[in-house]
Amino acid sequence: MIKKVIIGALCSIFFSCGAFAQLTHEQQVARNKGIELYQQSAWDDAQPLLLIAAEAGDRQAQYYLGESIRLNNSYTTEEAKKWYEAAAEQGDLYAMLRLSSKNDLCSDMGTCEGKSGNEWREQALKTARARAEKGDTQAMIVLFTANQGLGWLEKAAEAGDGFGQQLLASAYKSGGGWFLIPGSREKAIEKWFKSSAENGFPQGMYLYANYLYDHGGSKEDVGVVVN
Protein backbone atom coordinates (compact mmCIF):
# COMPACT_ATOMS: atom_id res chain seq x y z
CA MET A 1 0.00 0.00 0.00
CA ILE A 2 2.70 2.47 0.93
CA LYS A 3 4.35 2.13 -2.49
CA LYS A 4 1.09 2.93 -4.30
CA VAL A 5 0.72 6.11 -2.28
CA ILE A 6 4.20 7.31 -3.18
CA ILE A 7 3.54 7.64 -6.89
CA GLY A 8 0.05 9.02 -6.74
CA ALA A 9 -0.18 11.38 -3.81
CA LEU A 10 3.31 12.45 -2.82
CA CYS A 11 5.43 12.55 -5.96
CA SER A 12 5.05 16.33 -6.18
CA ILE A 13 7.69 16.58 -3.46
CA PHE A 14 10.39 15.51 -5.87
CA PHE A 15 9.88 17.78 -8.84
CA SER A 16 12.29 20.43 -7.59
CA CYS A 17 15.03 18.22 -9.03
CA GLY A 18 16.19 18.34 -12.63
CA ALA A 19 15.83 20.80 -15.44
CA PHE A 20 12.52 22.35 -16.42
CA ALA A 21 11.42 24.50 -19.32
CA GLN A 22 11.75 28.22 -18.83
CA LEU A 23 8.19 29.32 -18.16
CA THR A 24 6.72 32.77 -18.17
CA HIS A 25 5.16 34.02 -14.95
CA GLU A 26 1.70 33.29 -16.33
CA GLN A 27 2.68 29.74 -17.29
CA GLN A 28 4.15 29.12 -13.82
CA VAL A 29 0.97 30.39 -12.18
CA ALA A 30 -1.13 28.13 -14.41
CA ARG A 31 1.07 25.11 -13.64
CA ASN A 32 1.01 25.66 -9.89
CA LYS A 33 -2.75 26.20 -9.83
CA GLY A 34 -3.22 23.12 -11.99
CA ILE A 35 -1.19 21.00 -9.57
CA GLU A 36 -3.17 22.41 -6.66
CA LEU A 37 -6.43 21.42 -8.37
CA TYR A 38 -5.00 17.98 -9.18
CA GLN A 39 -4.17 17.44 -5.52
CA GLN A 40 -7.77 18.34 -4.69
CA SER A 41 -8.95 15.66 -7.18
CA ALA A 42 -10.39 18.38 -9.45
CA TRP A 43 -8.89 16.70 -12.51
CA ASP A 44 -11.20 18.28 -15.10
CA ASP A 45 -10.42 21.78 -13.86
CA ALA A 46 -6.70 21.05 -13.60
CA GLN A 47 -6.22 19.95 -17.20
CA PRO A 48 -6.57 23.29 -19.06
CA LEU A 49 -4.14 24.96 -16.67
CA LEU A 50 -1.61 22.14 -16.79
CA LEU A 51 -1.84 22.07 -20.58
CA ILE A 52 -0.53 25.65 -20.74
CA ALA A 53 2.78 24.72 -19.08
CA ALA A 54 2.92 21.22 -20.58
CA GLU A 55 2.83 22.61 -24.11
CA ALA A 56 5.66 24.95 -23.09
CA GLY A 57 7.76 21.88 -22.27
CA ASP A 58 7.50 21.77 -18.48
CA ARG A 59 7.90 18.13 -17.44
CA GLN A 60 6.17 18.62 -14.11
CA ALA A 61 3.06 19.88 -15.86
CA GLN A 62 3.34 17.10 -18.43
CA TYR A 63 3.38 14.43 -15.73
CA TYR A 64 0.45 15.89 -13.83
CA LEU A 65 -1.52 16.41 -17.03
CA GLY A 66 -1.05 12.74 -17.85
CA GLU A 67 -2.15 11.84 -14.33
CA SER A 68 -5.23 14.08 -14.51
CA ILE A 69 -6.31 12.58 -17.83
CA ARG A 70 -5.70 9.02 -16.61
CA LEU A 71 -7.61 9.50 -13.36
CA ASN A 72 -10.46 11.25 -15.13
CA ASN A 73 -10.84 8.32 -17.52
CA SER A 74 -9.89 5.53 -15.08
CA TYR A 75 -7.20 4.25 -17.46
CA THR A 76 -4.26 5.51 -19.52
CA THR A 77 -5.65 6.98 -22.72
CA GLU A 78 -3.46 7.78 -25.71
CA GLU A 79 -3.54 11.44 -24.67
CA ALA A 80 -2.38 10.61 -21.13
CA LYS A 81 0.34 8.35 -22.51
CA LYS A 82 1.53 11.15 -24.78
CA TRP A 83 2.14 13.44 -21.83
CA TYR A 84 3.72 10.72 -19.68
CA GLU A 85 6.11 10.04 -22.55
CA ALA A 86 6.92 13.75 -22.90
CA ALA A 87 7.84 13.89 -19.21
CA ALA A 88 9.69 10.57 -19.34
CA GLU A 89 11.79 11.69 -22.30
CA GLN A 90 12.96 14.56 -20.09
CA GLY A 91 14.07 12.06 -17.46
CA ASP A 92 11.05 11.98 -15.18
CA LEU A 93 11.29 8.72 -13.25
CA TYR A 94 7.68 8.62 -12.07
CA ALA A 95 6.42 9.04 -15.61
CA MET A 96 8.60 6.09 -16.63
CA LEU A 97 7.15 3.99 -13.83
CA ARG A 98 3.62 4.93 -14.80
CA LEU A 99 4.35 3.93 -18.40
CA SER A 100 5.72 0.60 -17.15
CA SER A 101 2.51 -0.29 -15.31
CA LYS A 102 0.98 -3.60 -16.38
CA ASN A 103 -2.24 -2.96 -14.48
CA ASP A 104 -3.82 -0.65 -17.01
CA LEU A 105 -6.66 -1.00 -19.49
CA CYS A 106 -4.58 0.61 -22.22
CA SER A 107 -2.12 -2.29 -22.07
CA ASP A 108 -4.86 -4.91 -21.72
CA MET A 109 -6.64 -3.63 -24.84
CA GLY A 110 -3.43 -3.44 -26.84
CA THR A 111 -4.03 0.18 -27.78
CA CYS A 112 -0.71 1.45 -26.44
CA GLU A 113 1.96 2.20 -29.03
CA GLY A 114 5.66 2.99 -28.68
CA LYS A 115 7.92 1.47 -26.02
CA SER A 116 6.57 -1.47 -24.06
CA GLY A 117 6.01 -1.35 -20.32
CA ASN A 118 9.04 -3.57 -19.81
CA GLU A 119 11.22 -1.20 -21.84
CA TRP A 120 10.08 1.78 -19.80
CA ARG A 121 10.73 -0.12 -16.57
CA GLU A 122 14.23 -1.03 -17.68
CA GLN A 123 14.89 2.62 -18.54
CA ALA A 124 13.48 3.80 -15.21
CA LEU A 125 15.65 1.38 -13.23
CA LYS A 126 18.78 2.12 -15.25
CA THR A 127 18.30 5.88 -14.90
CA ALA A 128 17.42 5.64 -11.22
CA ARG A 129 20.41 3.46 -10.39
CA ALA A 130 22.78 5.85 -12.15
CA ARG A 131 21.37 8.80 -10.22
CA ALA A 132 21.26 6.91 -6.92
CA GLU A 133 24.93 6.02 -7.23
CA LYS A 134 25.62 9.76 -7.40
CA GLY A 135 23.67 10.35 -4.19
CA ASP A 136 20.27 11.30 -5.63
CA THR A 137 17.83 10.42 -2.84
CA GLN A 138 14.80 10.80 -5.12
CA ALA A 139 16.23 8.05 -7.30
CA MET A 140 16.81 5.88 -4.23
CA ILE A 141 13.16 6.23 -3.26
CA VAL A 142 12.08 5.43 -6.82
CA LEU A 143 14.12 2.22 -6.66
CA PHE A 144 12.34 1.27 -3.44
CA THR A 145 9.02 2.09 -5.09
CA ALA A 146 9.98 -0.17 -7.99
CA ASN A 147 10.51 -3.12 -5.60
CA GLN A 148 14.29 -2.98 -5.68
CA GLY A 149 14.61 -3.39 -1.94
CA LEU A 150 14.13 -1.58 1.37
CA GLY A 151 17.87 -0.90 1.42
CA TRP A 152 17.43 1.92 -1.07
CA LEU A 153 14.92 3.63 1.20
CA GLU A 154 17.27 3.19 4.14
CA LYS A 155 20.04 4.87 2.13
CA ALA A 156 17.76 7.80 1.31
CA ALA A 157 16.83 8.20 4.97
CA GLU A 158 20.46 8.00 6.10
CA ALA A 159 21.31 10.67 3.51
CA GLY A 160 18.87 13.05 5.22
CA ASP A 161 15.87 12.94 2.87
CA GLY A 162 12.84 13.98 4.94
CA PHE A 163 10.36 12.15 2.75
CA GLY A 164 12.54 9.04 2.74
CA GLN A 165 12.76 9.18 6.53
CA GLN A 166 8.98 9.36 6.87
CA LEU A 167 8.51 6.51 4.40
CA LEU A 168 11.10 4.37 6.19
CA ALA A 169 9.42 4.89 9.55
CA SER A 170 6.09 3.99 7.96
CA ALA A 171 7.61 0.91 6.32
CA TYR A 172 9.04 -0.26 9.64
CA LYS A 173 5.71 0.43 11.32
CA SER A 174 4.01 -1.76 8.69
CA GLY A 175 6.35 -4.64 9.48
CA GLY A 176 9.15 -4.06 6.98
CA GLY A 177 12.77 -4.81 7.82
CA TRP A 178 14.31 -7.18 10.34
CA PHE A 179 14.87 -6.38 14.02
CA LEU A 180 16.36 -9.02 16.28
CA ILE A 181 16.61 -7.04 19.52
CA PRO A 182 13.27 -6.51 21.32
CA GLY A 183 12.16 -2.89 21.16
CA SER A 184 14.58 -1.94 18.40
CA ARG A 185 11.78 -1.65 15.81
CA GLU A 186 9.91 0.91 17.91
CA LYS A 187 13.12 2.86 18.46
CA ALA A 188 13.78 2.93 14.72
CA ILE A 189 10.23 4.05 13.96
CA GLU A 190 10.48 6.90 16.44
CA LYS A 191 13.95 7.85 15.21
CA TRP A 192 12.91 8.24 11.58
CA PHE A 193 9.59 9.95 12.25
CA LYS A 194 11.48 12.39 14.47
CA SER A 195 14.20 12.94 11.85
CA SER A 196 11.57 13.62 9.19
CA ALA A 197 9.80 16.07 11.48
CA GLU A 198 13.05 17.85 12.32
CA ASN A 199 13.71 18.15 8.59
CA GLY A 200 10.48 20.12 8.33
CA PHE A 201 8.70 17.54 6.19
CA PRO A 202 4.97 18.20 6.83
CA GLN A 203 3.75 14.60 6.68
CA GLY A 204 6.64 13.54 8.88
CA MET A 205 5.72 16.19 11.44
CA TYR A 206 2.11 15.03 11.44
CA LEU A 207 2.99 11.35 11.78
CA TYR A 208 5.59 12.01 14.47
CA ALA A 209 3.03 14.00 16.45
CA ASN A 210 0.60 11.09 16.12
CA TYR A 211 3.32 8.66 17.18
CA LEU A 212 4.08 10.69 20.30
CA TYR A 213 0.39 10.95 21.17
CA ASP A 214 -0.16 7.21 20.67
CA HIS A 215 2.82 6.45 22.89
CA GLY A 216 1.82 8.59 25.82
CA GLY A 217 3.28 11.94 24.82
CA SER A 218 1.72 15.02 26.39
CA LYS A 219 -0.32 17.55 24.42
CA GLU A 220 2.57 19.95 24.92
CA ASP A 221 5.00 17.50 23.27
CA VAL A 222 2.65 17.03 20.34
CA GLY A 223 2.06 20.76 20.03
CA VAL A 224 5.79 21.47 19.80
CA VAL A 225 6.09 19.11 16.83
CA VAL A 226 3.05 20.43 14.96
CA ASN A 227 3.80 24.08 15.59
Return the amino acid letter for 92: D
**Percent above pLDDT 70 for the chain:** 80
Name which CATH class applies to 1-148.
mainly alpha
Percent of residues in the chain assigned helix, strand, coil, to nearest 5: 70, 0, 30
Residue 114, pLDDT > 50, answer yes
pLDDT band at 215 (very low <50, low <70, confident <90, very high): confident
Residue 197, pLDDT > 90, answer yes
Tens of pLDDT, residues 31-81: 999 999 999 999 999 999 999 999 999 999 999 999 999 999 998 888 999
Tens of pLDDT, residues 77-107: 889 999 999 999 999 999 999 999 876 555 5
Rounded to whole angstroms, the Cα distance separating 191 from 102 reads 36
Classify the phi-psi angles of 101: left when phi > 0, otherwise alpha if psi is within -120 to 50, otherwise beta: beta
DSSP state string for 92-125 = -HHHHHHHT-SS-HHHHHT---SS-HHHHHHHHH
Predicted local distance difference test score (pLDDT) of residue 101: 81
The number of beta carbons lying within 10 Å of the beta carbon of residue 226 is 13
pLDDT band at 3 (very low <50, low <70, confident <90, very high): very low
Give the pLDDT mean for 165-192. 96
Tens of pLDDT, residues 131-140: 999 999 999 9
Specify the pTM.
Answer: 0.78
Give the pLDDT mean for 112-137. 90
**225: exposed, middle or buried (C-beta count within 10 Å: 0-12, 13-18, 19+)?**
buried
Predicted local distance difference test score (pLDDT) of residue 115: 81
The number of beta carbons lying within 10 Å of the beta carbon of residue 74 is 9
**83: exposed, middle or buried (C-beta count within 10 Å: 0-12, 13-18, 19+)?**
buried
Give the pLDDT mean for 111-136. 88
